[in-house]
Amino acid sequence: MAKANLENVGLNYIAIEGMIGVGKTVLATKITEKLQARLVTEEVEENPFLVNFYQDMRTYALPTQLFFLLSRHRQQQQLTQQSLFQEKIISDYSFVKDRIFAYLNLSEHELTLYEKIYAFLEKDVLKPDLIVYLQAPIEILIERIRKRGRAYEQDIDPEYLKVLSDAYNRFFLHYDATPLLIVNTTNLDYVKNEQDFIQLFQEIITTTSGRKFYSPKVKK
C-alpha cells in the first residue's frame, strides 16, 4: 500500500471533534503518526476553573468558557501563523465547538458578552479542511470516562452528558462551514483493531467536500 499523504487529497488541516470520552485524541494521534503530521491537542487540564465548573456549573460557567475560548484562540493563532504547506496538522478539537458549550452553559447576559468576544477572535482562526465528528452512545461515553480515570471528570452528571450530546448533534446537523465526516463509533475499535483504523482512515482522507456519514455494521 502506498504511503498515505494528505497532499494527494488536498487536505492540510484535519480537526477531530466529538463528546468527552469519544476518542478524539487517540484517533488524532494515530492519524498523526500515520501521516507524520503535527499533532495539536486541546489544553483542557490547564483550565483552572474546570474542576469547580463540574461541581457548580452555574457559578463557574463564564470564567470556564472564557478561559477555554482564549486558550483555543491562542493555539489557533499559532496555526494561522505557520505555513500549512510545509506541515500537516491534525487537531483533537475545532475552534467552532466552543460555541456549543457557550450556548449550553451561559446565561442570556453572559452570552451577549461571549458573542462579542467570539466575533472579535473568530476572524483570526484558520478553518480546517475537514472536521471528523465522532459519535457514540452515552452509555459508552460514561464507561470510557470512568475507565480513563480523570478525577475531575468523575463528577460529571450523566444528565449533563446527555444534554451536551444533543447539543453536539444539533450543531453538526446544521454545520456546513467545512467538509464534514460524521462517524458512528459504536462498532469501531480503532485503538485495538488496526483494520478498523485503516478503514476509518480511508474514509477520512477521501472526504474532501460536502457531508459524509460512516457507520460500520456489527462484525459477525
Confidence of residue 220 (pLDDT cuts 50, 70, 90): low
Cell 488496526 locates to 194
pTM: 0.90
CA distances from 209 to 11, 131, 170 (A): 10, 11, 20
Over residues 85-97, mean pLDDT:
87
Supply the pLDDT for residue 86: 62
pLDDT at 131 exceeding the cut of 70: yes
Strands (E), the chain: 13-18, 38-40, 89-91, 130-135, 180-184, 211-214
Over residues 155-177, mean pLDDT:
93
The per-residue pLDDT for range 172-202, each reduced to its tens digit, is 999 999 999 999 999 999 999 999 999 999 9
d(CA 81, CA 79): 5
Over residues 156-160, mean pLDDT:
89
pLDDT at 159 exceeding the cut of 70: yes
Over residues 47-51, mean pLDDT:
92
Domain limits, the chain: 38-128, 134-214
Supply the pLDDT for residue 82: 65
**Residues carrying an active site annotation:** 92
